[in-house]
Amino acid sequence: VRIAMQQDKANFSREQITAARGAGPARFAYLLRAITRQGRKFKPPALLPVLRHEGTEHIGAEAITKTLGASYAAAERATPVTPGDFVSSSNDVRSLSDCLDVAASPSVVDLLRGFLDLKKGRAPGLSQIPAEVFAANPIAAALAYAPVILKLIARGIGPLQWSGGLAHSIPKGTKDPSSVQGWRAILLLESDAKAFQKAWRPYLLQALDPVRSVGQHGGIPRHTLEQPSALVRAHFHGLSAANQSGGALFVDCAAAYYSVVRDFYLAGPYHNWTDDELQQRAKLFFADTQSQAAFLKDMRDGLWLESLQLPSALHRIVLAQFHRTWYVDGRPGTTLYLTQTGTAPGSPVADALFAFLFSRFLHGMEEFLRGHLASPHIQVQQAEAAEAPAWADDVVILFTARSVSEVEGLLGEIGRQVIKHLRRLGLSANLGPGKTEAVVALRGHGSRDVRRRLLGADCPALSLTTETEEFPKLRLVPGYTHLGTFLNAELSEMANLKRRAGLLASTFKPIRNRLLNNPFLLPTEKRELLLGRVIPCFLHGSGLWRLSTKHEHEVAVGPLYSAFRQCIRPITGSSSAKMTQAEVLAALDVPSPEELLDVHRVRALFQVLRADMRRVCAGTPVAALVADAEDADLSLLSVRLQDQVNWDDVRLRQQQGEALAVLSSCGPGLAHTCHLCNMAYATHRRLSVHLAKCHGIAGKGPQPWWASLRPI
């Protein structure tokens, strides 16, 4: 049975390696989760479902489905509705007032690309028609759906099955699965709806580019996590170089894609609500009167929507996307919900539609920082500054204070402005640990007193409450995990390197036990697992690491060398004892950790040059490459060929054991000499270790200069 199981695992892994080749390490980890039994998307075996909510235990799939569906309705302001009432109230038509150019709408070629981009093996919607049906003949599918798209643009209303889907519950992994907070929902759309959204997504991104914030990334082609991370690192490095005070406020929104108010797409003449209905919707979305008044003003004048300058055909597609959105709480579902907010998380256009709305928040914070002279002035794209780098809904507010005494007041005002601007969009900041937190850099005269006042408590926090308004407290932390990288104000890499080493160990152990030790996998396949799954886990964001000390460099390459050495026996069948690091690399035919770091630095260099962010890379290893980038020929990268391993020599060394023994040592660099033998050492610590191991004398530790003084 064990041999058969190993053969099945080997065949399954071989298929996933082929399927994930070229798709990146994230897709590779997703496909291997059934064997490694880890990761956010790993599904453990289903046990008897029990859910505790509001003092009541819900037992059984139907009761839990109904409870989770009702909990999701709070974020999307959804209300239950009967299918008959929903269908009868969805027959309205948004008539055309002007002629539209059909050439500006998604074409048959765009639909063909959408059907070809459908991923296989994904869960279907309520109809249970998988994507493989359309992938069997995408040309026929595109020709069949082209008239439907023209009808959608003409009527302004899409098919009902395209405006909603099945709310599939997924456990969060880090929270208690017996509570509603331990689950989140993702919308399972129909396959043809996904293909249509993939067809008009490029048009949406093209319209987003001129209106988005400079530091706004996420979901945009050719934008990577390194770009917002580089902006944050550049800010802290600039504060250190100029000996200035400032900091960064890391903001995490709670259920952003579910609760964002999307009515702004219908502002001006594009809605049919009366003033009373608009006021009711304002009370539904916002709790404070200021946000309600701002919403009513935006809906009446429609200036923000007009500033987007969306093409008419694209705008009508967006309106059809948000018309009468709904979800069913499971399969088989118990309740149909009609939603009022959100951009349908799980759909191919959810992030782009959210980016339009979220750009209002980013532009508002940028104007506030520039008005208060707190902008960090990190220039990208020639002369534009990026005060609020963001990846989807994870945003960082960078600020600089003119003096250390202004940091507390400025940070408090920034926190209040963040909460106010998020409320204008129907959003709220998640103020839990590790979510919305601030990291401050305090330098200059009086910094010690400010540091004691702000950071002296066991759980440092800054109160944002004023005399007229009540706000929650803001947590102050020494470091923050931003986009997978731990950052602090001093830009020390030790904490981040130790965190990456822990992630490497947790990832490498199941792969080594379940895959590398499998005798039915070929050595080349095991090597591909090592290069495609293990190494990227540790080197995430390594192109921007600042390894300023020798100890940091050792910690950066040590975990990879250790992992390589542990792969010798599973891959080659021989022991790694007495093998040098060069022999380990040659036996596995893998690059050295130093070479891998250089590769990631070159990748970061290209990202910096392509985004015109030369000033951002100051203080990083990329800066040395930027100086010579215009003269260097980066199209040809030299690759060092590994030498062949002389296994006979390795086995001889293993049989002989330790062949070298140090009998004596001396020299100008060895100032600490043992008084019992001829050994000398460079530091007092090494001498103390020698005395304890060889002579049984306990070390006294380093002695101060006054310890040798004698009274006269």
The pLDDT tens digits for 326-360 are 999 888 778 999 999 999 888 899 999 999 999 99
Give the per-residue pLDDT at 354: 94
Q: Is the pLDDT of residue 619 over 80?
A: no
Confidence check: pLDDT of 383 > 50: no
Name 99's Cβ contacts closer than 8 Å, sequence gap at least 6: none
The answer on 377 and 484 residing in a single domain is yes
Domain check: are 205 and 243 in the same one?
no
For residues 647-660, give the mean pLDDT: 71
**Residues 252 and 394 grouped into a single domain:** yes
Q: Which of 466, 488, 510 is the last residue of a domain?
A: 488
Q: What is the pLDDT of residue 634?
A: 45
Final residue of a domain: which of 488, 521, 550?
Answer: 488
CB 69 within 8 A of CB 58: no
pLDDT in tens, 387-426: 899 998 999 999 999 999 999 999 999 999 999 999 999 9
Statement to judge: residues 400 and 512 lie in one domain: no
Picking from 217, 208, 258, 253, the residue whose alpha carbon sits closest to that of residue 423 is 253
Report, as an integer, the average pLDDT of 498-507: 93
Banded pLDDT at 689 (limits 50, 70, 90)? confident
Give mean pLDDT, residues 477-482: 94
- Do 249 and 312 fall into the same domain? no
Within a domain: 289 = no
pLDDT-derived band at 38 (thresholds 50, 70, 90) equals low
Residues 146, 115: one domain? yes
631 pLDDT above the threshold of 60: no
* Averaged pLDDT, 260-264: 93
Beta partners for 481?
486
Which residues are within 8 A (CB) of 378 and not within 5 positions of it... i.e. 6 or more apart? 231, 234, 235, 238, 385, 386, 387, 398, 615, 616
The answer, yes or no, to whether residue 17 has pLDDT greater than 80, is: no
- Higher-pLDDT residue of 437 and 308 is 437
pLDDT value of position 357: 93
Q: Which of 204-218, 327-341, 378-392, 550-564 has the lowest mean pLDDT?
A: 378-392
The mean pLDDT of 578-587, rounded to a whole number, is 89
Contacting residues for 4 by C-beta, under 8 A, at least 6 apart: none
Q: Residue 183 has what pLDDT?
A: 87
Confidence (pLDDT) at 44:
52
Q: Is the pLDDT of residue 678 over 90?
A: no
| Tens-place pLDDT, residues 530-549 | 988 889 989 999 988 988 88
Which of the residue ranges 376-380, 569-573, 627-631 has the most confident prediction, judged by mean pLDDT? 569-573
Per the domain annotation, does 284 fall within a domain? no
**104 against 664, higher pLDDT:** 104
Question: Does residue 152 sit in the same domain as residue 74?
Answer: yes
Q: Is residue 14 part of a domain?
A: no
Average pLDDT of the segment spanning 458-477: 87
pLDDT at residue 138 in the model: 94
Residue 678: which CATH number?
Answer: 3.30.160
In a domain, 21, yes or no: no
Q: What pLDDT, on a 0 to 100 scale, did the predictor assign at position 676?
A: 85
Would residue 377 count as lying in a domain?
Answer: yes
Task: State pLDDT tens for residues 47-74.
Answer: 557 888 887 888 888 888 888 889 899 9
Domain-embedded: residue 276: no
Asked if the structure places residue 42 within a domain, the reply is no
Same domain, 472 and 335: no
Say whether both 413 and 377 belong to one domain: yes
Cα-Cα-Cα-Cα dihedral of 448, 454, 457, 462, to 10°?
180
CA–CA gap between residue 167 and residue 125 (Å, rounded): 9
Q: How far apart are CA 82 and CA 208, in angstroms?
A: 37
Q: What is the mean pLDDT of residues 90-117?
A: 86
| pLDDT for residue 43 | 53
Q: pLDDT over 90 for what percent of the chain?
A: 40
Q: What is the CATH number of the domain that holds 476?
A: 3.30.70
Average pLDDT over residues 636-647: 58
Strands 216-217 and 394-401: unpaired
Q: Where in the sequence is the domain holding 691, given as residue range(s)?
A: 672-705
The confidence band for 22, taking pLDDT boundaries of 50, 70 and 90, is low
DSSP 3-state of 177: coil
Of the listed ranges 32-36, 470-474, 589-593, 708-712, the least confidently predicted one is 708-712
Q: Place 633 in a pLDDT band, splitting at 50, 70 and 90.
A: very low
Instruction: Tally the domains of the chain.
Output: 4
- Which percentage of the chain shows pLDDT scores above 70? 87
**Residue 635 confidence class, pLDDT cut points 50, 70, 90:** very low
- Does any domain span residue 316? yes
Looking at the structure, do residues 554 and 415 belong to the same domain, yes or no? no
pTM for this entry: 0.83
316 in the same domain as 390: no
100 and 169 in a single domain? The answer is: yes
Q: Provide mean pLDDT across the span 298-319.
A: 90
Cβ–Cβ under 8 Å, residues 38 and 507:
yes
Comparing 174-188, 317-331, 561-575, 649-663, which segment has the lowest mean pLDDT? 649-663
Q: Please, what is the average pLDDT of the chain? A: 85
Q: For residue 398, give the 3-state DSSP assignment.
A: strand
